[in-house]
Chain A
């Protein structure tokens, strides 16, 4: 069995790490002091497309598979666990059930906004 990481995911992980190092980690102290994630950090996560990390590419999102999403969670959690909570709750739990078992109208009303994080 081949356990090597595909080049596309290695490249993604490199980009994620850069996002974490340049945009997220520097707010660690602010999160600890205020108890809140600064809005500019969430903007950076949105701009990267992570709010739609497991949404198919045909909807204009990243369309990452399970391994790719694990990389996203792992890298963001290196900065601060609060990023994991906020991002993962939106993308992997709150939106997924609606996407898989909701009607088209329910997805239109809620799912797409959750995926976009706006």
Chain B
């Protein structure tokens, strides 16, 4: 199984505090909308760890990570982005169009910061 880590966005870079992708709670699911860019392994990944903000959390929305499997409705893989020095690996855009994720696919709500920091360190 191949995994990828979907954090980077066009307007935010890898600044997790500036994410524009949103996760809205709807009954027992979260609905994600937004886009990512330069996501390594995305074109070949089986499993995606996706970061999104909870805009209904107030002025400083928390972020969460969500675990999504390839083929989930609403998960669209965009064009491959050629990168200098990145030959042999795949990087692409990702789009979330009402991507509905069961609550059980979300590691602890609002702990996205820790998930992000611990993954990166």
Q: Is A100's CB under 8 angstroms from B89's CB?
A: no
Interface string of A79-118 (1 = CB under 8 A from B): 0111101100110111111101111011001100110111
Q: Which of B2-10, B18-26, B71-79 contacts A (4 or more CB under 8 A)?
A: B2-10
Q: Does A36 contact B (CB under 8 A)?
A: yes
Q: Is A97's CB under 8 angstroms from B65's CB?
A: yes
Within 8 Å CB of A36, what residues of B?
88
Q: Is B88's CB under 8 angstroms from A37's CB?
A: yes
Closest residue of chain A to B48 (Cβ to Cβ) is A94
The distance in angstroms between the C-alpha atoms of A80 and B85, with both chains bound, is 10
Minimal beta-carbon separation of B3 from chain A (angstroms): 3
Which of A85, A92, A95, A109 lies in contact with B86, CB distance below 8 A?
A: A85
Interface Cβ pair total, 8 Å cutoff = 101
Given contacts A96-B119, A103-B107, contact A90 B89 (CB under 8 A): no
* B45, B69, B85, B89: most-surrounded residue (chain A CB, <10 A): B89
Given contacts A102-B67, A110-B47, A114-B47, contact A82 B3 (CB under 8 A): no
Interface residues of A (CB under 8 A from B): 31-32, 35-37, 80-83, 85-86, 89-90, 92-98, 100-103, 105-106, 109-110, 113-114, 116-118
